[in-house]
Structure 1
Amino acid sequence: MAGVPSAPERRPWYELGLMADPIMDSQLLHFLAATYSAQADIGEVLDTASRIVPDDDWSWATEWVSTADRLRGMGDASRARGRRYSAGNAYLRAANYYRAALIHHPEPGHPSVLETGRKAVDAYNKAIALLELPAVAVRIPYEGTTLPGYFFRSPRARGRAPLLIFQQGRDACPEESKYVMDAALERGYHCLIVHAPGQGMAIREQGLTFRPDWEKVITPVINFATRISGVDSGRIALLGWSMGGALVPRAAAFERRIKLLIPNPGVLNWGQSSFDQFNMYFPDIMPLLDTDPQAFDAAMAQLMDAVFLYRWYMRDSMSKHGASSPSDLLFKLREFNNESVVQRIRCRTLVVDGTAEAFSVGQARLLFDALTCPKDYLLFTEEDTGLLHCQEAAQAVANHRMFDWFDEYI
């Protein structure tokens, strides 16, 4: 109607608009959502966010460490007075805030990265002991070294019980998804989480980088798991989060001891999904990658100098993939492609997707269509609030729908 102003366009609930950087904004939502598993408090998260200076590369890491140090101090004080539960909860949140600092650290090779990672591990181990969580730290043999992880024994398990192996993605540590472990334990399922190559402390403490032949990682994990008392080796499920949704199908193509597979989100070709992102952000320089890699690197260096998001992503990804340059990183990413092996998968598979998936758009459906094993497709939507990448901030509905499927087929 003429003369009547139109209503302002409603911003989606998940676009907080609290951080200048959109990736930081989405990570802020991630840590707000951690309140569901008592690994964060809303005031602490928002207060930390309010102190972050947009144009300061170090501000994100510095402020999260500051908050974590304060919580660790609270834990120390309560523990000294014999207040186990208060101390344990403070340490649990401190560990998560230390991990938050690592997600957007501007210098992956800086000594503070390892220091902060070790602080996170120490606080988490103290929380486990004080809160009497049913978890024990483990070291999983892997190619002449070991991978750190935790085994969670369900107090509700009777006899030999199923095992859920949880595999994180490119950025987060598996401890951050405590809500998945909590839900599994309540249902009588044991859990095993691991800092695999490219992830968590495996990259920061040992320099182990991502690799495309992910069966070489998961097979040692399953070898270890099948020797744990109380684990039913015939009922092992493998769950991959984020980039893990590309890694676990590769592993399942070669590892026959997996009964159930859950890639969340499902990804057929991680390299292609990565290139789709690059083509969207850098359409003018991407043609240089194959024709003149040095020119590509020079152009990317200019963009990295100008924009923190590009600078952070490239430095972080190069470190985790063992790449020497941006062009080398992209060449390595091309190797993460399951198209040639996906038909080898035999276990029942739940391919998870969301209508607002931002990082591998369309890949879940491609994976589902390519699978020849027993399979199901689970789409989260705006209506059920699980539409974001890995159902961010919708932990309750994510657990509800995923574990209903798990209960049906395990």
Structure 2
Amino acid sequence: MKTDFKIGTHQFHKEPNMNYALNRIYAVNGGDLDEIKKAAAKIQTIDDWIKEFLRLADTALSEGRLMNASAYFRAANFYLSCNDSRKRETYEKYVSLIRDIYKEEFANGGIREKHVPFADGYIPVWHNEATCSEEVKNTVVMHLGYDSIKEELIPIIDYFRRANIDFYLFEGPGQGEALQKGNLWMTHEWEKPVKAVLDHFNLNDVTLIGISLGGYLAPRAAAFEKRISRVIAWGVMYDFFDTVLSRRGKFFKYILKTLLILRASAIVNIIAGLKMKRDTYARWGIEQGFYVYGVKTPYEYFCKLKNYSMKKISHLVLQDFLLLGSTHDHFIPQDHFFRQAKALVNVRSFTGRIFTKYEKAENHVSFGNTPLVLDCMINWIKEHSRRYNT
């Protein structure tokens, strides 16, 4: 299995969200550095982005460069509207290419696939068994965040296997296959899909890892599911609503919060509608929210966001807790790391780690140096497992 992680971050684009997404295409998805640089120079709008990466995907595919092609289909898919038929088409092409690239892993049982029944659909789970037995058997259950796809994380699966950890990766409601094929919209009550996975595989004493928005989802599940012994927030998500609005200015945030308290849905929809007409990034973000949460209006979307907060439940988390942040996260307010840490008053133990640009891990969820983050998590898991099993 290929575990070729790219180290470092690049200044591909002046727009922070696009720059991060371009780095992700390179470091995580397997895009070619030179091709990404040339594409970035031509991109000014979301439409430019889609056009360039669809072109690159078709070129790479025609030349038999499957990993590059998969990266570019994933890139185009990222910014496509849920109302565009190409959204589903590029998802299917991406998944098909990844399964072809890693077909031996699926064929020989390196990755075992299961569907866990949930609500009116199913939760897809990939299981990678530990290579040998140890006195302390470490079991990790990991899930995604807001817009990841499990196929992106196959190299991470192999990393845990080589660390001799029993590893389960699942897509819950609102994520990847669970949304696309299982027809499950995201829920803030993340303990419910976690319970379904733990029940199905009869798991106990697990480490739960959540990435990005999973920095809320995993701690939330831990607050209500005591079979979780250790929890890792791979990225801070103290309050999703505050995070989304943090780049929109304090005045807009205050107005929107007030309107939501007053339940002024018509006014919220008018204001958001005007914003979406002027700002293509706002339009994409809100429409993506419609898709993930199964709602139809901006008012419903913002109401959903307000549910994703650790402010009132952090004191319920009793497990060992590892909180991971980074110094130059373009998305998460810096003070959220410290607010979350301070709120975890009842955890059994707390460890905080902020990655820096000197470690080439300063961006959101530190994708600039994934091996460094994985080593940090694995060492922490094994240390805390031994602590209570000796």
Structures share fold, TM-score greater than 0.5: yes
With 278-287 and 382-391 compared, the bigger mean Cα shift is at: 278-287
Deviation at 1:148, TM superposition (A): 2.2
Output one character per residue of 1:313-332: Cα deviation in whole Å (capped at 9) or x when no partner: 11111221222211221111
Q: How does 1:82-97 map to 2 (within 5 A)?
A: 90-97=65-72
Name the CA shift for 1:110/1:202 in 2 (closer, same or farther; >3 Å). farther
Name the CA shift for 1:43/1:163 in 2 (closer, same or farther; >3 Å). farther
Q: How does 1:258-273 map to 2 (within 5 A)?
A: 258-273=228-243
Output one character per residue of 1:342-387: Cα deviation in whole Å (capped at 9) or x when no partner: 2222221101122223333222322222221122111222332322
Output one character per residue of 1:10-29: Cα deviation in whole Å (capped at 9) or x when no partner: xxx8561x335331111001
Query: Match for 1:172 among 129, 148, 151?
Result: 148
Query: Match for 1:68 among 57, 63, 68?
Result: 57
Q: Distance in 2 between matches of 1:66 and 1:223?
A: 44
Q: Amino acid of the residue matched to residue 197 of structure 2?
A: V
**DSSP 3-state at the match of 1:353:** strand
Output one character per residue of 1:201-229: Cα deviation in whole Å (capped at 9) or x when no partner: 22233432211111111111222333xxx
**DSSP 3-state at the match of 1:383:** helix
Q: Distance in 1 between matches of 2:285 and 2:23?
A: 19
Normalized against structure 1, the TM-score is what?
Answer: 0.81
With 129-138 and 164-173 compared, the bigger mean Cα shift is at: 129-138
**DSSP 3-state at the match of 2:152:** helix
8 Å Cα contact 1:69-1:94 kept in structure 2: yes
Query: Match for 1:370 among 343, 354, 364?
Result: 343
| Structure 1 equivalent of residue 302 of structure 2 | 330
Q: Distance in 1 between matches of 2:133 and 2:53?
A: 37
Query: Match for 1:254 among 201, 214, 224?
Result: 224
How many residues matched?
371
Deviation at 1:45, TM superposition (A): 3.2
| Structure 2 equivalent of residue 59 of structure 1 | 48
Residue ranges of structure 2 left out of the alignment (5+ in a row): 1-7, 386-390
Normalized against structure 2, the TM-score is what?
Answer: 0.85
| Structure 2 equivalent of residue 348 of structure 1 | 320
With 23-32 and 322-331 compared, the bigger mean Cα shift is at: 322-331
Name the CA shift for 1:21/1:285 in 2 (closer, same or farther; >3 Å). farther
Q: Amino acid of the residue matched to residue 273 of structure 1?
A: T
Q: Distance in 1 between matches of 2:55 and 2:310?
A: 41
Deviation at 1:262, TM superposition (A): 0.2
Deviation at 1:54, TM superposition (A): 1.9
Name the CA shift for 1:268/1:326 in 2 (closer, same or farther; >3 Å). same
Residue ranges of structure 1 left out of the alignment (5+ in a row): 1-12, 76-89, 227-232
Q: Does 1:29 align with 2:1?
A: no
Q: Distance in 1 between matches of 2:380 and 2:339?
A: 21
**DSSP 3-state at the match of 2:94:** helix
Q: Does 1:385 align with 2:357?
A: no
Structure with bigger gyration radius: 1
**DSSP 3-state at the match of 2:359:** coil
Q: Amino acid of the residue matched to residue 192 of structure 1?
A: Y
Query: Match for 1:187 among 160, 163, 169?
Result: 163
8 Å Cα contact 2:82-2:288 kept in structure 1: yes
Q: Distance in 2 between matches of 1:219 and 1:201?
A: 19
**DSSP 3-state at the match of 2:73:** helix
Q: Distance in 1 between matches of 2:130 and 2:67?
A: 19
With 126-135 and 318-327 compared, the bigger mean Cα shift is at: 126-135
8 Å Cα contact 1:156-1:186 kept in structure 2: no
Structure of higher RCO (CA pairs closer than 8 Å, 6+ residues apart): 2
Name the CA shift for 1:302/1:220 in 2 (closer, same or farther; >3 Å). same
8 Å Cα contact 2:323-2:352 kept in structure 1: yes
Name the CA shift for 1:363/1:252 in 2 (closer, same or farther; >3 Å). same
With 142-151 and 184-193 compared, the bigger mean Cα shift is at: 142-151
| Structure 1 equivalent of residue 126 of structure 2 | 150
**How much identity, in percent, do the aligned residues show?**
20
Deviation at 1:253, TM superposition (A): 0.8
| Structure 1 equivalent of residue 114 of structure 2 | 138
8 Å Cα contact 1:171-1:199 kept in structure 2: yes
Deviation at 1:59, TM superposition (A): 3.3
Q: Does 1:127 align with 2:101?
A: yes
Query: Match for 1:314 among 286, 291, 294?
Result: 286
Deviation at 1:142, TM superposition (A): 1.0
Deviation at 1:160, TM superposition (A): 8.5
In angstroms, what is the RMSD of aligned CA positions?
2.7
8 Å Cα contact 2:17-2:330 kept in structure 1: no
Name the CA shift for 1:190/1:109 in 2 (closer, same or farther; >3 Å). farther
Q: Distance in 2 between matches of 1:19 and 1:206?
A: 35
